[in-house]
Structure 1
Amino acid sequence: MKSLTANLSTRHKLQLATVLSVVLALVPVLLVLGASSTLSLISLGLAVVSAWFVSGLITQPVNSGIKALETGLLNFKDGEFSSLLAYSEDDELGRLCHTYNQTAEQLRQEKQWIYQRELMLDKVLQSSPQALVLIDSNNHVVFSNHSAKLLFKCEQKLEGLTRYELYAFGSEQIQNAMEAGRDGLFHLKHAHSNDSQLKQDDEAQTWHLSTGQFLLNNHSHRLYIFKQLTRELSRQEVAVWKKVIRIISHELNNSLGPMSSMLHSGKILTQNLDEPRLGRVFSTMQERINHLNEFVQGYGKFAKLPQPKLEVIDWLSLLNSVKQEWVFSIEGDIPNFECFADRVQLEQLLINLLKNAHESGSEAEQIKVKIEAKSQGTLLSVSDAGKGMSEAVMANALVPFYSTKASGSGLGLALCREIAEAHHGQLSLHNRGDGKTGLVVQVFIP
């Protein structure tokens, strides 16, 4: 019996049960009444047909509700939550369909919320300065962001590439770091900078690689996160120097004030004495105090650089103003475009770079200033024809207090870098190529 009803629907099973119940109830009645066999068969036939038809009508809504539930659950399986059930009878099946509709509505809202979060997460990851690469268990890249394309210097999408095809775009240092499979620092030479449009081929960059393994859709994946630390380490180093400078300046100011007051009192007390040597002593002391004041003020500019007050820069006016103090020539035409920067700080930056260029041993007519419009900002270049810089000097040139000049303060280039980074830009140093001697300092202002 069980095998006979195994393939029947619930509705047909109910109809069959109703027909059997009618037959079982009618047969004893016909036997008691002593009806003829022909009449009994006709009665049984009519009863079976009637029972089947009536039970079909009664179970039709139930059958529709069950089919609707089945369709809805299949939609759930496919991740579709927008379809609702129309069955609304006030019975157990109706309440079940109502619960289904409530669940579908809640799941639909949660799916929409998750979708919005995925869009936001994708936007954040794509705009992140950290390079992200996700590789599946088959060694294929399944996700990467824009910074990863810049790191690997790849014009096409990284998704779909194998790990080894990815290595072909990157440098050997990146490959070694990824193959090591652990968190740590590595140094990247000739790296592409995603912070500006400056070329940084002469600067080694410090990167940190963080890796993690997790299950995604029941498959093992490994995530690689590359973070550039070069600028962060430089900022930390500059912050330490600034703190040292502020402490030194504070102590010097505490001493210079009383010294100036005592010197002034000494001049008043000895003005009636006919002693020429006192004049020389006081003059020397005043000269040294003035020198120390200038020293403290110069370092104060670096330690307490104010936030830039942005305005549209008139390059021709700015260059003409600087030309009153320093001799140089303008290379190429001055582009007609808007650049927002702090004019006072930009003028100080130009003066410092031109001062260094004149002290490099270069002829004045060989010192050139070039201004270029880039897609993401302005590139300012100051070049000379001096001796250039050795690798050791270039590695320390931007460090505060470092100077190769006997009377240098070591703050000229450090202040220039501070001004550039205060504008969210970057400064870099390059020895001139193509057989030419000299140095090129490039400042990118976004």
Structure 2
Amino acid sequence: MARRRLPLWLAFTAAAFVYMLVAATLALALRHWLQLAPWLAIPSAALLPLPLLAYHVRRLLLPARALFRALSGSVAAYRDGDYSFGIAWDGSGELGDLVASHRALGDTLREQRLRLVQRELLLDTMVQNTPVAMVLVDAGGHVVLGNLAARRMLGDGRRLEGLSFEALLALGPAALREAIERGGDGMFTVGRDDDEDIYHLSRRLFRLNGRRHELVLLRQLTAELRRQEVQTWKKVIRVISHELNNSLAPIASLAHSGAELLRRGQLERLPAALATIEERARHLDGFLRDYARFAKMPAPRLETFDWPGFVARLHGQVGFVTEGSPEGHGRADVPQLEQCLLNLLKNAHESGSPAEDVRLALRRLPDAWRIDVLDRGGGMNEAVLSNALLPFYSTKRHGTGLGLALAREIAEAHGGRIALANREGGGLCVSIHLPA
């Protein structure tokens, strides 16, 4: 069984009683043996046993002092995140209750810390192994966290923590820098032709430990879009097959009927049959011409033109507000570029944006021209933003889904690129970069 300690109040009472007994005995002895006066014998008897009393009192208080030091040390350890500290105490009373409560607190903190470490390990494993590149940037513009995908994309596999995010962007793809500069979410393309990768950019601001941070997410959509393109082409084949059948079946039937009418000599009904055949043939020709225009777009014939005249011709066909004063000369296939921008400006008007908020901005970059078509419509959700550049993808009931896809085809045929981004405050920004 554990050794039981006397309560401190009982020990002090016993010590005081013994001290008084010893002092009284000494006072009698000093007075009797040394013939001292009472006024001198009593103080002398009171002082003589004090060192012995102090020694025993000190020994009596040693366990309590050690306990208080242990409690203070455990509190300091908890403050520093060390919950392995334990206290052994076999006493009872108030000190025993205090030690038991402290021990229960330590057990609870250890369990919570273990669960927290396990959750952090799981979260870190998920963050590090996700294919989405994740970069956490602090208020000073330095990287706090970069997962494995971000290291591969921005740092050639090296750790990014502590580096300047702006410096990393300077070494990264130009399309990524431009997407970051536009602000908000959006899509951009890295590479060309068969080596092309399409990314979706997301940016979120929040406060961590009272300080502003930004989380940048880069999700590669290339494989997903390739699958979507296959599904889209299957849909196109079904649509074309349906349209061909709807036109060719009545044409064949009317041709047979016309031959019968001709054989029977019923010529008065023949013009109506031939007119129907002509109408269906023209409809089919127009339908196929629209799709062939996208599928067989000729290579651009580059020519030098002046931007003020080009923008003035656009103003004559669709309404918009020009930001800035476009100056200088460009080099492009003027009809193709004109068709591209007309499609984008018409889309801006159809987005629900007020007409005065449909704008075209032209800027000269060091090695390129940047054309922005802006509106204040409803913008695009993430699903639409991810598919908007696919051929024949449309959210409009009677849309062909060729406007943005044709704009992308024209921009890339000129050696440029196109990017979409939602604007802060609502609306969409479609940016085209063309070589200068």
TM-score (norm 1): 0.45
TM-score (norm 2): 0.46
